[in-house]
Amino acid sequence: MTVTDDFIDALPKAELHVHLVGSASVPTVLELARRHSGHNVPTSEAALREFFEFRDFPHFAEVYFAVNGLVREPEDVATLVTGVARDLAAQNVRYVELTVTPYSHVSVGMTMPAVTEALDLAAREVADRIEVAYVFDIPGEFGEDADRGTLDHALNHPPERLVGFGIGGVEQDRLSHQQSIRDAFRTAVAAGLHSVPHAGEMTGPETIWEAIRELKAERIGHGISCLDDPELVAYLRETRLPLEVCPTSNVCTKQVPDIAAHPLPRMLAEGLYVTLNSDDPPMFGTTLTNEYRVAARDLGLGRKELADLARNGVRASFLSEGRKRAILAEIDAVEPA
């Protein structure tokens, strides 16, 4: 059957790879930029949209942290959470695991308890629209202090809905504090958090192997370079380790040259377990719904394949089994398995 916008809009979804600061809408960023001083973020819409045109991943990281520097009060954190939650709920997203980088908020003067309180209050505020859980993410560029600080926050001041522990940022920067990262993940996993590191976005399969062998990854953020290693592809296929794929993000940060070159169709053809995600949607001019449209329009996926991606997102989540069954039943009502 033909894939229509109405079908994609009606498809219940889960979002597993989306960053809090990267989800700030253009109006929200403009509001924060005008509210605060001492930064280089544009205060006009036209200039901000130009600011969001990225040369490469390091440039994207530079812009991301500039925007992050506008988040200076707990109220700013709560505003971001409620904003992305409402945006996702309007797209028929039932559940989101929202990636938060608490170290970056604490480093500008917020206390860990204040950040956590803001996250908790915001999740409760939107609970009637969408279920929000959190992943705490180490910013890989900031070394051992960030590793320890993120772990401390996760263990001693966790939000009520903290489910995962991850690491993002420029993957090449991890080598200088690799053992510290391993130690942080080992402790977080022992404490009951799920391991969900970014890997294989801007580096090769060796980073994915590191995430699997040393960080005990239960999902991989991006993972698109896995196709360069047949042994890794076979391992991922056999273990059904989920890969959180974000096509538009990869184009915007120049990890693939254009959407037609994106490896998502090949990953599916290889039998890999893939979920579809938006990453930093306003920065990349996308939404989760648009990622489904891109997969259909530009990558040739049909209704069943899109519905299966939605199912994968639910099954790969850290929802309770009962909630998973309920959302899967909603997907089946739109497109039977």
- Which sequence positions are flagged as catalytic? 201
Residue from 76, 138, 156, 79 nearest 109 by CA: 76
For 16, phi then psi, to 5°, come to -110, -10
Look at residue 150 and give its three-state secondary structure: helix
DSSP string, 75-89: HHHHHHHHHHHHHHH
Closest-CA residue to 126 (of 73, 163, 81): 81
Element (H, E) at 318: none
Which spans in the chain are helix H?
Answer: 5-10, 26-35, 45-51, 57-68, 74-89, 102-106, 112-125, 143-156, 178-190, 205-213, 230-239, 247-252, 264-269, 288-297, 303-315, 321-334
Which residue is it, tokens 């130690």?
A: 183
User: CB of 219 within 8 A of CB of 312?
Assistant: no
